[in-house]
């Protein structure tokens, strides 16, 4: 049965006695419900207007699996904007779903505390060879064994075609059929909870995809031309009719929360969610998903703004989120590991000193001019909890938005990648891995779409134009070498081969992740830093960085060296114990060990080490 605090008001609201069909459609003069029950012929039922452009009709004898659509002013049929299922794709009839018939087996589930999360970002279509919700379940046991506590799904709302990153979603309430549809997603969440994994869902509330979006036939109020986005019209959250658009997305978020038991949400490109209302839509959504007890799903924003407003309390003018993606850490690490200073990375100098600034502040940019951004960017966030920053050294954007989709563990030296991995996994900020990173997957993660006709050709040409301004692609032949997003081979090349995790370097890299995450969970000093924002002390010399943590439980150091062997002083150290090293042979390293003597740490080249000292 549904949660007592949740009562859906949009779409086909199933009840055994009678199903209510309700849609916001102020634009057409007439709306006709076309209903297909089993193999019967279509029933055509005029939809009366009940209030403010809403059409509503309650029909008896409707069963789950029945198909329906709407005819608007004699044209159509068109799918329901709030459809819970699109079994024949985004252009087909919608399907009636009973969201309360699923037999949940996660009764003992208690989600992890947010500060203790370790996130694994996954794209269902390429995570396994089958590319379905059900096939992903087979990986859960090994993820939990490694120390992962949450899987973050890239968007699953129905999109056009057979494969897509998910950011072209158009049926916001319907899990895409190629992954397994609504029941498949429920099985995934149920299995994740039984395994001990929280499920975070990536939602896209800044634009609709370019194909299969029929909302404009029902109302002009869903989108607006007042604000530009790189992907099309922005959502209308503050103009005429915006009260209904806001209600649409409030209900969408609550539907994932209650009908699928999703534990948290990552909001895509929140800097492109525009709203000048007294209550910003993000604060509105944060309030909407709170239960009567004050608990709510995890909320994470993706934004390049470096703005602590996202994680400030709503009564202090904030949005009430838990965390935001803090890309400065990724950018500082990438430019240290690779001599890369183009495009959005122009504002990063590739020094260990910048890495230290980013991790002890949370952000690197706190209002300075960013060359790559072309403007001043960011605000100080020095009183924000460490767990309000999500850190990564790879994610879908930072891999897939490169012309050939290369992973950092492929393009950077493996020893440096291991050193950066140990650093990230032990910091008090929330660590996030991108699928396959834990076993050094060599497959690229490419940009792929499956659009038809002119739209498909436009995507291919646009992808090549995007990189045409780069020096490396000044030769037309090099432009043509960029994988075509519309080519099936581009999608197939992005599918992970999990056999790599079972042997060789993949197996050893996975062992490093497991050992580091075990230490992260058990060490009392690291735990204290997750509980409160104790100061992080850093000191850099050349390509090496010393990070020091001081708490009641003792002192800890992470020392990382991206250059030649070095001798470093550890402030305050007396006789620290070396607990873990990235270049141990059991992790694929060269087994040259660090040692502490005469007040100095002798650290091998291209390695990192964790040291502890008790009070």
Task: Give CA–CA dist 318/309, Å, rounded.
Answer: 5
Give the Cα separation of 167 and 520 in Å (integer).
Answer: 33
CA separation for the pair 546, 557 (Å, rounded): 7
Q: How far apart are CA 394 and CA 450, in angstroms?
A: 25
Quick one: CA dihedral 153, 13, 221, 219, positive or negative?
positive
Helix H or strand E segment including 84: none
Tokens of 454: 């002119």
CA distances for 455 relative to 269, 450, 451, 486, angstroms: 23, 9, 6, 10
3-state SS, residue 578: strand
Helix or strand or coil: residue 266? strand
268 is known as an active-site residue: yes
Paired tokens of 513: 């992740």
For residues 390 and 323, is the Cβ–Cβ distance under 8 A?
A: yes
- Residue 80 annotated as catalytic: no
Q: Give me 309's structure tokens.
A: 């407003």
Q: Using CA atoms, how far apart are residues 537 and 558, in angstroms rounded to an integer?
A: 11
- Tokens 């090099």 — which residue? 478
Q: Are 264 and 200 in contact (CB under 8 A)?
A: yes
The position carrying tokens 């993660």 is 445
H or E element: which one contains 334?
helix 327-337
- Integer Cα distance of 611 and 615 in angstroms: 14
CA 285/CA 299 separation, integer angstroms: 10
Q: How far apart are CA 509 and CA 436, in angstroms?
A: 11
Catalytic residue among 268, 366, 443, 450: 268
* From 302, 523, 528, 550, active-site residue: 302
Which helix (H) or strand (E) element contains residue 131? none
Q: Which residues are catalytic?
A: 268, 302
């Amino acid at each position: 049965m549904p949660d007592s605090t949740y009562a859906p008001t949009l779409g086909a609201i199933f009840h055994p006695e009678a199903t209510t069909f309700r849609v916001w459609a102020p634009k057409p003069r007439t709306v006709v419900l076309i209903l297909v029950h089993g193999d019967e012929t279509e029933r055509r039922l005029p939809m009366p207007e009940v209030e403010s452009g809403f059409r509503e009709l309650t029909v008896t004898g409707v069963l789950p699996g029945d198909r329906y659509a709407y005819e608007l002013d004699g044209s159509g049929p068109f799918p329901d904007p709030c459809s819970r299922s699109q079994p024949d794709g985004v252009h087909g009839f919608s399907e009636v779903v009973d969201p309360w018939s699923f037999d949940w087996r996660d009764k003992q589930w208690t989600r992890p505390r947010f500060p203790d999360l370790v996130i694994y970002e996954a794209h269902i279509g390429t995570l396994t060879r089958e590319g379905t919700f059900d096939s992903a379940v087979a990986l859960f046991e090994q993820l939990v064994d490694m120390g992962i506590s949450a899987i973050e799904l890239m968007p699953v709302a129905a999109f056009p075609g057979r494969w897509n990153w998910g950011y072209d979603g158009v049926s916001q309430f319907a899990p895409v059929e190629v992954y397994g549809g609504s029941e498949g997603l429920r099985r995934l969440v149920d299995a994740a909870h039984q395994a001990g994994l929280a499920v975070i869902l990536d939602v896209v509330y800044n634009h609709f995809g370019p194909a299969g979006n029929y909302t404009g036939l029902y109302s002009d109020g869903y989108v607006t031309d007042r604000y530009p986005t790189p992907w099309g019209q922005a959502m209308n959250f503050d103009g005429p009719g915006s009260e209904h658009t806001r209600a649409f997305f409030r209900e969408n978020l609550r539907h994932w929360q209650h009908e699928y038991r999703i534990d948290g949400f990552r909001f895509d490109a929140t800097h492109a969610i525009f709203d000048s209302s007294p209550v910003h839509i993000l604060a509105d959504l944060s309030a909407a998903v709170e239960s009567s007890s004050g608990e709510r799903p995890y909320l994470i924003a993706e934004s390049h703004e470096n703005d602590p407003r996202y994680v400030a309390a709503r009564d202090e003018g904030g949005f009430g989120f838990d965390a935001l993606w803090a890309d400065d850490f990724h950018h500082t690490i990438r430019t240290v590991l690779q001599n890369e200073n183009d495009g959005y990375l122009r504002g990063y100098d590739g020094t260990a000193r910048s890495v230290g600034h980013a991790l002890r502040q949370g952000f690197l940019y706190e209002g300075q001019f960013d060359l790559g951004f072309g403007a001043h960017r960011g605000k100080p966030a020095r009183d924000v909890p460490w767990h309000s920053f999500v850190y990564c050294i790879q994610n879908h954007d930072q891999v897939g938005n490169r012309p050939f989709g290369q992973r950092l563990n492929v393009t950077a030296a493996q020893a440096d990648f291991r050193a950066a991995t140990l650093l990230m996994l032990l910091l008090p900020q929330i660590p996030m891995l991108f699928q396959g990173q834990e076993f050094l997957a060599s497959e690229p993660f490419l940009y792929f779409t499956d659009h038809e006709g002119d739209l498909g050709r436009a995507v291919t040409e646009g992808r090549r134009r995007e990189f045409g301004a780069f020096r490396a692609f000044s030769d037309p032949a090099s432009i043509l070498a960029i994988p075509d997003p519309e080519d099936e081979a581009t999608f197939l090349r992005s599918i992970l081969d999990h056999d790599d995790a079972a042997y060789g370097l993949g197996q050893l890299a996975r062992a490093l992740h497991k050992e580091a995450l075990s230490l992260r969970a058990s060490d009392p000093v690291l735990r204290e830093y997750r509980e409160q924002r104790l100061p992080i002390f850093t000191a850099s010399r050349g390509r090496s960085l010393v990070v020091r943590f001081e708490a009641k439980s003792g002192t800890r150091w992470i020392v990382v060296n991206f250059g030649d062997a070095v001798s470093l002083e550890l402030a305050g150290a007396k006789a620290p114990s070396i607990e873990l090293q990235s270049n141990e042979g059991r992790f694929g390293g060269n087994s040259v060990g660090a040692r502490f003597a005469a007040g100095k740490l002798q650290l091998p080249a291209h390695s990192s080490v964790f040291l502890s000292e008790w009070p």
